[in-house]
Structure 1
Amino acid sequence: MNNNIPKPIKKYLYKDRFFELVISTSKWKDIFFSKEAFVSLCISLGLSCLISYPFHKLNFTNILNPLSVTNDELNSILEIASTLIPVILGGLFAVLGLTIGGLAIVVGTISDRLIITIVEKEAFDELVSVIFNYYFSGGVIGLTIVLNFFVAILIKISLPFSYFWFMALTFILCYLIIFSLTYSVMLLGTSMRIFFLKSRYNFK
């Protein structure tokens, strides 16, 4: 291996996998402890309560033991879900494409001279952390797409209905969808951070 490679860059040469970068940049915390996570949690709780309405029929005093729901009501809920999932998948694929395109554009605008300057200023970790936001966002969107496919398959399979698993999947799915959208919107701020980072280190 070339011994002339700067130490900050060498650190990432063999640790450039998604999960390795998630740990080294501490981006996993964003899923639970960030503004996007808080917004996603609030909206997901609201949507989950709204979806659970037919099961309780305004009897919210017994949340863990919902009233029985008729087959027609259950089929109606599943029909709405099966209609929404393809729309959600289409939107997620579009957002994923924009995220990949944004990452390509951002990486392409960072010159070799700027990288050398950033390494000299000992700010390479900061640059990696900012750029990795795009990679992390794409990973979360990919996970959400896979989960949507999984739920779509479950809807088509005649399985015994379980209120607990229904609401658990509903909350997780809502959370990941909202988080994916809000985190993707926040990539606009990431683009601005990269612009300011370039402006700061373009002038020695």
Structure 2
Amino acid sequence: MTPTAVPANNAGSTEQSDFLKSLVRTVPDFPKPGILFYDITTVLKDRKGFAALIDGLASHYINEDVDMVLGIEARGFIFGPALAYRLNAGFAPVRKPKKLPAEVIKVSYDLEYGSDSLEIHKDAVAPGQKVLIVDDLLATGGTMEATIKLVKQLGGEIAGLGFAVELDFLKGRARFPEYDVFSLLHYAE
């Protein structure tokens, strides 16, 4: 059965945003002192919250003819496949090193506290495919920037960058002026 198109309903509305924000748990001093962590697991465990998250993201991208949805480890794995299903697209994971079984390409990137790297299967994206990259949170944008490099190495075209939560005060969006960046929830601080 082919998934049906997602109606625009309340996607991105203040009502939807308020509802989803009411489900987000904030955890002070995680993963280190001074950080306020926005935990979406409480959204995911709520059936209406999870549906609103998927519907909100899907309604933004439903007319983009997305071929592949890439989910970034780890929370992008949770809603990426559901979103791919709603968009009638394939799904592929972007993982930390040595987690994928077949031949991969790899990119390293810098973090505030060091460096890390991500990998994707060499056959995950075909040249010319339109790719939507999703993750739970847009902070500084380093992880997303690394994932974009992987997609470009494989010859894919970026259809958009989707997030459940965006921390506006970290200005991660500014790294991606050439892409459609869409976030359901915005936090000013």
TM range (shorter): under 0.3
Bigger radius of gyration, 1 or 2? 1
Compute the TM-score of the two structures, normalised by the length of structure 1: 0.23
Structure (1 or 2) with the greater helix fraction = 1
